Amino acid sequence: MSERKTVTDMITKESFKEALYNLGVEKDMILEVHTALSSFGYVVGGARTIVDALLEIAEDGGTILMPVQTGDNTEPSNWSKPPVLPSLWKEIRDAMPAYDSNSTDLRGMGAVVENFRHRDGVVYSNHPYLSYAAWGRYAKLLCNRQSLHFPLAEESPAARLYELKGYVLLLGAGFNTCTCMHLAQYRAEARPIILDGSSIQTSDGKKEWKKYLNLALDVEGFEEVGEEMRKKGLVKEGSIGSCHVQFFSANKAIDEATKYYEKSVIYDLYR
C-alpha cells in the first residue's frame, strides 16, 4: 500500500461478502473468480481476506474455481513476451523443472490466486500449463479430468463449468481474463492448431518434456463479447470500494462468444 495516500475507506471480509450477496451471488453457486486485488483500494488483510470471504460464501454447497496458469512451463519457441533466441530453446526445455501443482510458479495470476491455491481442500486439474484449482462441493468433479491436448476444450474444467451452469465473478478484472470463454474458440474452431510443450514428471519420477496440441489461444473479442452482454442485460455490475465488479452466467458468456467467433472467424482453413 502506498505511503503517500491517506486511507479514507476500507473493505473488510464482512463488507465484501455483503456486497457480493447484494449483487446476486448465492451460497450454492459455482463461481469462476478472477481478481485484481489492487483495484479494491485498502482491503484489511489483503488477499487472505478475499479468499476467506469466498470460501465462507461457498462453504454450504458452493464451489470456487480459479485458473492457476503456469505460463513459464510452455514451449519456448512460442514465447513472445519476450521472445527467446532459437539457440536457447532446447536448453530451456532441458532445464525447466517438472510441473508441480504446489511449487511451480504462476505467471500473471495475482495475489488472490496465489493465496487460494495453497488452501486446505483445494484440488487441481493438474495440466502442466493451463490448470485450474477448485474448492467446495463440485471441486473434484470440475477438476477430475482435463485433457493434455486442447486443455480448455470439452475435457476441461471450463466445459464442466458450462455443464453445471456455473457463473463468473470478475473483481476488478476485465472480460479479457475470463478463462472459460476460451471454450468458445474451440467450439467455433476459431484458432489455428499449434504444438505446445511442458516439463512434466513421469510415473517413475523422471522429468520429461511432453509435447501436446492446442489452439493458438488469445483474448481477441472477449471485451467485445462482454460489451454485447452488457447491452443485453446479461451482466450484473456493481462496486466494492473502488473495484468494478461484474457477475454473469458462464453459459451465457460462452454461448455469446461462440456466436461472435462463428461470425467473425478468419481461420476457415482450420474449420
Domain assignment of residue 27, yes or no? yes
Domain assignment of residue 7, yes or no? no
CA-CA distance, 195 to 207, in Å (whole number)? 19
Closest CA to 40 of 140, 133, 111: 111
Instruction: Find residue 169's DSSP bridge partners.
Output: 33, 247
CA-CA distance, 268 to 270, in Å (whole number)? 5
Domain assignment of residue 211, yes or no? no
Q: Which domain holds residue 65?
A: 13-70+99-187+219-270
Domain assignment of residue 89, yes or no? no
Domain assignment of residue 85, yes or no? no
Domain assignment of residue 155, yes or no? yes
Residues whose CB is less than 8 angstroms from the CB of residue 137 and which lie 6 or more positions away in sequence, other chains included? 28, 58, 61, 62, 63
CA-CA distance, 69 to 66, in Å (whole number)? 9
Range 220-224, long-range pairs (CB < 8 A, 24+ positions): 221/257, 221/260, 221/261, 221/264, 222/174, 222/175, 222/176, 222/178, 222/181, 222/257, 223/174, 223/175, 223/176, 224/260
Domain assignment of residue 228, yes or no? yes
Closest CA to 36 of 169, 159, 184: 169
- pLDDT over 90, % of the chain: 86
3-state secondary structure at position 109: coil
**pLDDT tens digits for range 193-227:** 999 999 999 988 899 999 999 999 999 999 999 99
**Residue 187 is placed in which grid cell?**
467450439
Domain assignment of residue 17, yes or no? yes
Domain count, the chain: 1
Q: Which of 113-117, 201-205, 251-255 is predicted least confidently?
A: 201-205
At 166 the pLDDT is 98
Residue 118 pLDDT class (50, 70, 90 cuts): very high
**pLDDT tens digits for range 2-32:** 556 777 688 999 999 999 999 999 999 999 9
- Tell me the mean pLDDT in the region 145-158: 96
